[in-house]
Amino acid sequence: MASRDDILATLRRNAPSPVAAPALTGLGVAFADPLAELARSVAAVGGAFVRVPDTASADAAVAALPVAASARKVVSLVAGVGRSSLELAAVGDPHELDDLDLAILPGRLAVAENAAVWVDGSALHHRAVFVIADHLVLVVRARDVVSHLHEAYDRLAGRPPGYGLFISGPSKTADIEQVLVVGAQGARTCTVIVIG
Amino acid sequence: MAQGHPEAAARFVADEARTRWHDQAVWWIRQKRDTAAAAVPDWEALRTTAAQIKRHTLSRLADYLEDFERRATAHGARVHWARDAAEHNAIVHGILAARGVTRLVKSKSMLTEECKLNPYLEARGVEVVDTDLGERIVQLAGEPPSHIVMPAIHRRKEEIGELFQIHLRTRPGAADPTYLTEAARQHLRGKFLAAGAGLTGVNFAVAETGAIVVCTNEGNADMGTSLPPIHIACMGIEKIIPRERDLGVFLRLLARSATGQPVTTYTTHFLGPRAAGELHIVIVDNGRAEILGREALRASLACIRCGACMNTCPVYRRSGGHSYGYTVPGPIGSVLAPQHDPERHASLPFASTLCGSCADVCPVRIDLHHQLLELRQALVRERLVPWRKRFTIRFAATLLRSPVVYRVVGWLARRLLPMLPRRLLYARWNAWGRQRELPPLPRRSFAAEYRRRSHGEP
């Protein structure tokens, strides 16, 4: 631990005089219609947006997805939306998920300004599921749509500590001559379904 | 002294068509950033807040690092500390060797580039695969990244097609980005499935929670950390932020500044290892703690590596990232590199017009052009700048400091220069005149002309 103590001692020796942390108030702009903004931003990041009144129509929306007809290996972690072809909790090794066609996952909240949907890790069983599936559906309640990231982190503050992530649209890259290509390493499509 | 920026840049600009293409490609990203920033009404307030958070954090960095270590450890991570690149590389190799891992997948980490981790591991029998598409391209080409966000921005799609034809067996002559990206996806999926460990960089480390946050668009960090059981995350000491809520500020700035996106596709908050897995966090100093002690330069530690200063820099756009000869190119690289190795990188602070555009777009308001000027002065004082440049600077200083000398030299120049033969006037000493014509000399000095006109003469 000599290095640790060395680094910390140098940092303390070189530290500038104390500077107060800013208050994070007044940041972010609340949208008059966050759902309309979310629909716009999901499309802007290459995703698809669907709004439905209830769980049954969310299920119908999943069935209507182009991938639904051909998907053989499906995982749904949202009760009543889509049908799992395998029990995720029974999968021992995430490598077995390589040919996963479709994953339907619950979003704790969605952010209107950037289409980011928060997915709790505790629900996933395997962290690979959201990125290894060829197609991804994220299901969010309308009351869980917030305007901006500051509001999102305020809401997330009470959650039990653990792994989690924001997903904003399908996997993408523009590393070859700045041409946007969707479906780089992870999901080729990302559909956000808002219920309510 | 190692070869400097002017020599390397001269090679790049020799290909005029490529220089123009590169300039426009990079400028296009700057424009996307502008559009994204303009769509956020509180953009300037966000930048100010981000700068304040970083200043606060730097004023008690040691405390926050200890907080972070304690909480990350409590959630099951193993935290390692490395004074320098050699120690960092040895730690990473030690983790892999102890578990018999011979295949490593990496997502983008400029720190491991800085530490030259790949060759270190390869020499010890570990297959290292960079999995960010741009990084994979430059890895296959056997060259370093030329940009920190878009590592292969200097490569034409036809060149990438040729590279993939050799290494990934794509169709000869194929240059369609969609086709090439799909080929890379298939190729890399195999690497992910075969890997024994995944290594990532760290965008933010949250002191309050012990979480590390990694941002990617491709999902390669998520793939590389969720299939193999071992995750190694390497971070510089400056990646710390105090509170989780601070992420709201930085994440709103980062992707918009980098590529004009509202946020990256995947923003993963890692807290603890995955089930039956291991999470190792390597905290690296490698000269950063010394930068903290330099008052005029410590703000460079606030950098969140968005690349906006590169995209806007007229010198970067026209000389390419490789001309800087350092892991991080562009204005921020020109501030960091000479602090890392002043002798080797002495030319970099001069690879700037000091136009200040970098500071204007910086999401954390680093006063980059002031820092470049500060470094120029230090390098001249330490005599690390070529004598010709030092002589010119001293000559100019003498000239501009004394009104009498200024007037006399001006008078002489107006009379003598027009009489000099071109061969002498545009000889080797006149670096400015290599690509330019000197302007025609006026008959009178500005002061004389001003006096004349003030007296109403035409």
Provide the CATH topology of domain B40-289: Rossmann fold (3.40.50)
Q: How far apart are CA B299 and CA B55, in angstroms?
A: 7
CATH number at residue A125: 3.40.50.10420
Note whether B222 contacts A165, CB cutoff 8 Å: yes
Chains A and B form CB pairs within 8 A to the count of 250
Query: Is the residue at A20 inside a domain?
Result: no
Name which of B93, B187, B90 is nearest B133 in CA terms.
B187
Chain B residues whose beta carbon lies within 8 Å of the beta carbon of residue A122: none
Could you tell me if B260 and B39 are in contact, meaning their C-beta atoms sit under 8 angstroms apart? no
Note whether B53 contacts A8, CB cutoff 8 Å: no
Q: How far apart are CA A115 and CA A46, in angstroms?
A: 10
Chain A residues whose beta carbon lies within 8 Å of the beta carbon of residue B156: 177
CA distance A65 to chain B (A): 21
Which helix (H) or strand (E) element contains residue A50?
Answer: strand A48-52
Domain boundaries along the sequence of chain B: 40-289, 295-381, 403-454
Cβ count within 10 A of residue B179? 16
Query: Is the residue at A22 inside a domain?
Result: no
Query: Above 0.95 for ipTM, yes or no?
Result: yes
Query: Is the residue at A94 inside a domain?
Result: yes
pLDDT digits (tens, 9 = 90+) for B408-436: 999 999 999 888 898 888 988 888 888 88
pLDDT digits (tens, 9 = 90+) for B254-306: 999 999 999 999 999 999 999 899 999 999 999 999 999 999 999 999 999 99
Q: Which residue among B181, B222, B248 sits closest to A186, beta carbon to beta carbon? A: B222
Q: How far apart are CA B271 and CA A194, in angstroms?
A: 28
pLDDT, position B1 = 43
pLDDT over threshold 70, residue A168: yes
pLDDT, position B2 = 53
Low-confidence residues in chain B, pLDDT < 50: 1
Note whether A7 contacts B237, CB cutoff 8 Å: yes
Report the pLDDT averaged over residues A88-98. 95
3-state secondary structure B92-111: HHHHHHHCCCCEEEECCCHH
Reading the block at residue B200, the tokens are 């990532």
CA distance B253 to chain A (A): 11
Reading the block at residue B97, the tokens are 């060797």
Note whether A161 contacts B271, CB cutoff 8 Å: yes
Query: Is the residue at A10 inside a domain?
Result: no
**CATH of B295-381 among 1.10.150.240, 2.60.40.10, 1.10.1060.10, 1.10.3720.10:** 1.10.1060.10
Report the pLDDT averaged over residues A4-22. 97
Exposure b/e, B93-114, CB count within 10 A at least 16 = b: bebbeeeebbbbbbbbbbbbbb
pLDDT digits (tens, 9 = 90+) for A119-134: 999 989 999 999 999 9
Report the pLDDT averaged over residues A58-69. 96
pLDDT, position B458 = 67
Name which of B377, B101, B363, B67 is nearest B232 in CA terms.
B101
Query: Is the residue at A2 inside a domain?
Result: no
* Beta carbons within 8 Å of B264's beta carbon, 6+ residues apart: A168, B215, B216, B217, B254, B255
Note whether A27 contacts B264, CB cutoff 8 Å: no
Name the burial class of residue B127, with classes exposed (0-12), middle (13-18) and buried (19+) by CB atoms within 10 angstroms of its CB.
middle
pLDDT digits (tens, 9 = 90+) for A142-159: 999 999 999 999 999 989
Number of domains in chain A: 1
Note whether B248 contacts A171, CB cutoff 8 Å: no
Query: Is the residue at A7 inside a domain?
Result: no
Could you tell me if A57 and A80 are in contact, meaning their C-beta atoms sit under 8 angstroms apart? no
Name which of B369, B339, B365, B342 is nearest B353 in CA terms.
B369
Query: Is the residue at A9 inside a domain?
Result: no
pLDDT, position A1 = 72
Residues in chain B: 458
Query: Residue A174 sits in which domain range?
Result: 28-195
The string of DSSP codes covering B30-79 is: HHHHHHHHHT-TTHHHHHHHHHHHHHHHHHTHHHHHHHHHHHHHHTTEEE
Name which of B148, B144, B133, B118 is nearest B322 in CA terms.
B144
How many Cα neighbours within 13 Å face the side chain of B115?
30
Chain A residues whose beta carbon lies within 8 Å of the beta carbon of residue B257: none
